[in-house]
Amino acid sequence: MNRFLQIISVVALISACGGKPVTPEPKPIDPVVDSEGDKAGETWADPTGVKGGKYISNGKIQIGVDPARGGTIFHFSEAGKKKNLVNHYDEGREIQQSYYGWADGSSWNGQSWVWNPVQGGSASGVKGKIVSDDSTDEKIEITSTPVLWASGEMASDCVMKEVITLEGEVAHIKFTFKYSGSNKGDARHQELPAFFVDWDLKNFIYYDGGTAWSSTKKNSYVPARLDQTGKNEYKNLPERWAAYVDDSGWGIGLYSPACSQCTLYRFGAGPGGAKNSSCSYFAPIATMAVTANWTYTYDVYITIGTSDEIRQRFSDIHSKK
């Protein structure tokens, strides 16, 4: 797995953004053909499917979750085209919940780690488990038990829930995390959520032009590769959204109203593809401490289109709140 978010306290972050690079050796994953594609009499244009994946579509967009990895979002595409924009190389990729707490004596990739429940599973491949599935044809609603990233132990004192609905060209996801234990962690940057997409979407688009929604200006650049620099980058997000797009300006964006900052990087030299180790990543972040009997709920929105279309859809959502 490639979990590169640096685990730093607020004080440490102020003194130095970044830290020791985390660059594990990629592990091979055999491509599979998606069962949903089989049912439709189609095969995937590239090996991005997951056998047993659960999907919903509204004729405009299609989203899929992986029941074998705690219901993590592994697929997002335009309906009918099935060009998956989400990277799901391993249990720590995809679009999913992940939280950071206290030092628990664990280590990963040669460095000390912390209590870190991850929806999809652990670095060693132990997978999150679905405990209830109340999905319908129009909605995905899954509750799962996450796994501690470094140790591979089931986080039995944690519950993660996601409710996914489709509204036009936008997927709305409500994430909920419940910790029923008695420990208290330090305030840390929390990924809200982790967002891994195709390496071919190399251009990071965001707005940092002053007052939110006040102009048409957008920033665009290609983030540095973590495997070369050894550290994450950080950007302010006054409008609470960002996107990765290709050179034509088309790609995938995420709006996380709870977060005004993000961490980001790219990893690897390619090739792109949903199941390859190279990826583009960002995570909206908020600084919070996981405490005893802690519950946290937040909403995010995902869409596909040009950077102008992405921003306009998120602006429309913002204006309705």
Question: DSSP assignment of 87-139, as one string?
Answer: --SSTT-SEEEE----EEEEEETTEEEE--EESSB-TT-PBPEEEEE---SSE
Structure token digits, residue 270: 């390619």
pLDDT band at 23 (very low <50, low <70, confident <90, very high): very low
Res 165: pLDDT: 98
pTM recorded for the entire structure: 0.87
Structure confidence by residue, pLDDT tens digits, 291-321: 999 999 999 999 999 999 999 999 999 999 7
pLDDT higher at 11 or 235: 235
149 and 116 in contact (C-beta within 8 Å)? yes
Q: Which two tokens stand for residue 283?
A: 């995570």
| pLDDT for residue 292 | 97
Summarised one tens digit per residue, pLDDT across range 160-218 is 999 999 999 999 999 999 999 999 999 999 999 999 999 999 999 999 888 899 888 89
Provide the pairing of β-strand 111-114 with 103-108: antiparallel
Task: Give the total residue count for the chain.
Answer: 321
Give me the pLDDT at residue 83, please.
Answer: 87
Inter-residue contact 75 to 53 (CB < 8 Å): yes
Report yes or no: 271 and 199 within 8 Å, Cβ to Cβ: yes
Q: Which residue has the higher pLDDT, 73 or 10?
A: 73
Structure confidence at residue 81 (pLDDT): 78
* Residue 49 confidence (pLDDT): 66
pLDDT at 50: 78
Is pLDDT of 252 > 70?
Answer: yes
Lowest mean pLDDT segment, chosen from 65-69, 145-149, 210-214, 238-242: 210-214
b/e 47-78 (16+ beta carbons within 10 angstroms → b)? bbbbeebbbbbeeebbbbbbbbbbbbbbbbbe
- Distance in angstroms between the alpha carbons of the first and the last residue of the chain: 37
What is the pairing mode between strands 261-267 and 279-288?
antiparallel
pLDDT of residue 9: 34
What single DSSP character describes residue 209? S
User: What rounded mean pLDDT belongs to the chain?
Assistant: 86
294 vs 105: CA distance, rounded Å: 22
